[in-house]
Amino acid sequence: MNKKTEQHFSWEYAEENEAFRNAVATMEKNGTRKWVYAKKPAGKYTNYRTILSVILLALLVILPLITLPNGNPIFKFDVFNTQFVLFGYPFFTTDFFLLAFGMIICVVFVILFTTVYGRIFCGWFCPQTIFLEFVFRKIEYLIEGDRNKQMRLDKQEWNEEKIIKRGSKWFIYYLISFFVVNILMAYIVGMDFLKSMYRDSPSEHIGKFIGMFIFSWLFFFVFAWFREQACTLVCPYGRLQGVLIDKHTMQVSYDYKRGEGRSKFRKNEDRKALGKGDCIDCGQCVAVCPTGIDIRNGSQLECVNCTACMDACDEVMEKINLPKGLIRYASEDNIKEGKPFQVSIRMVVFSVILLAMVAGLGAFVMNRSDVEAKFLQIPGSDYKEEGSLIVNTLQYSLMNKTNQSHQLKAIVLSHPKSKVELVSDRHQMIYIEAGELKQGFVKVKIPRSELSSYKELIHIQLVDENNRTIDTYKISFMAPFDIGND
Q: How far apart are CA 387 and CA 365, in angstroms?
A: 45
Q: Which is nearer to ligand SF4, 119 or 415 (CB)?
A: 119
Q: State yes or no: residue 398 binds ligand SF4 (CB under 6 A).
A: no
Q: State yes or no: residue 288 binds ligand SF4 (CB under 6 A).
A: yes
60: helix, strand or coil: helix
Q: Whole-number minimum distance, CB 48 to ligand SF4, in Å?
A: 14
DSSP 416: T
Q: Which is nearer to ligand SF4, 285 or 390 (CB)?
A: 285
Q: State yes or no: residue 306 binds ligand SF4 (CB under 6 A).
A: yes
DSSP 261: S
Q: Which of 73, 238, 259, 298 binds ligand SF4 (CB under 6 A)?
A: 259
Size of the site for ligand SF4 (CB under 6 A): 28
Q: State yes or no: residue 85 binds ligand SF4 (CB under 6 A).
A: no
Counting Cβ atoms within 10 Å, is residue 297 exposed (0-12), middle (13-18) or buried (19+)? middle
List alpha helices for 83-159, DSSP H.
Answer: 96-117, 120, 127-131, 137-144, 147-155
Strand partners, 384: 391
Q: How far apart are CA 59 and CA 139, in angstroms?
A: 21
Q: Which is nearer to ligand SF4, 188 or 285 (CB)?
A: 285
Q: Which is nearer to ligand SF4, 105 or 240 (CB)?
A: 240
Q: DSSP states of 215-260 as a string?
A: HHHHHHHIIIIITTHIIIII-HHHHHHHHH--TT--EEEE-HHHHP
Strand partners, 77: 84
Mark residues 219-258: x for contact with ligand SF4 by CB under 6 A, - for none: ---------------------------------x------
Beta-carbon contacts of 56 under 8 Å, excluding residues fewer than 6 positions away, are 125, 130
Q: Closest Cα to residue 421, out of 476, 471, 456, 460?
A: 460
Beta-carbon contacts of 380 under 8 Å, excluding residues fewer than 6 positions away, are none
Q: Which of 181, 304, 371, 394 binds ligand SF4 (CB under 6 A)?
A: 304
Three-state SS annotation for 310-340? HHHHHHHHHHCCCCCCCEEEECHHHHHHCCC
Q: State yes or no: residue 128 binds ligand SF4 (CB under 6 A).
A: no
Q: Whole-number minimum distance, CB 60 to ligand SF4, in Å?
A: 23
Q: State yes or no: residue 185 binds ligand SF4 (CB under 6 A).
A: no
96: helix, strand or coil: helix
Q: Which of 284, 334, 400, 402 binds ligand SF4 (CB under 6 A)?
A: 284
Q: State yes or no: residue 283 binds ligand SF4 (CB under 6 A).
A: yes
Q: State yes or no: residue 216 binds ligand SF4 (CB under 6 A).
A: no
Q: State yes or no: residue 291 binds ligand SF4 (CB under 6 A).
A: yes
For residue 356, which amino acid is it? Answer: A
Q: State yes or no: residue 289 binds ligand SF4 (CB under 6 A).
A: yes
Q: Which is nearer to ligand SF4, 327 or 394 (CB)?
A: 327
Q: Whole-number minimum distance, CB 255 to ligand SF4, in Å?
A: 9
Q: Which is nearer to ligand SF4, 82 or 148 (CB)?
A: 148
Q: How far apart are CA 482 and CA 486, in angstroms?
A: 6
Q: Whole-number minimum distance, CB 206 to ligand SF4, in Å?
A: 42
Phi/psi for 402 (5° steps) reads -115, 175
Q: Which of 74, 181, 250, 279 binds ligand SF4 (CB under 6 A)?
A: 279
**Is 381 in contact with 433 (CB distance < 8 Å)?**
no
391: helix, strand or coil: strand
Q: Whole-number minimum distance, CB 300 to ligand SF4, in Å?
A: 7
Phi/psi for 278 (5° steps) reads -80, -15
Q: How far apart are CA 25 and CA 223, in angstroms?
A: 19
Q: Which of 116, 143, 181, 295 binds ligand SF4 (CB under 6 A)?
A: 295
Q: Which of 49, 76, 276, 296 binds ligand SF4 (CB under 6 A)?
A: 296
Q: Which of 285, 330, 446, 460 binds ligand SF4 (CB under 6 A)?
A: 285
Q: How far apart are CA 193 and CA 448, in angstroms?
A: 56
Q: State yes or no: residue 293 binds ligand SF4 (CB under 6 A).
A: yes
Element holding 428 (H helix, E strand): none
Mark residues 307-336: x for contact with ligand SF4 by CB under 6 A, - for none: xxx--xx--x---------xx---------
Sheet of 455-464: strand order equals: 430-432, 406-412, 455-464, 469-478
Q: Which is nearer to ligand SF4, 197 or 303 (CB)?
A: 303
Q: Which is nearer to ligand SF4, 326 or 398 (CB)?
A: 326
Mark residues 131-170: x for contact with ligand SF4 by CB under 6 A, - for none: ----------------------------------------
Q: State yes or no: residue 126 binds ligand SF4 (CB under 6 A).
A: no
Binding positions for ligand SF4, rule: CB under 6 A: 252, 259, 279-285, 288-291, 293, 295-296, 303-309, 312-313, 316, 326-327
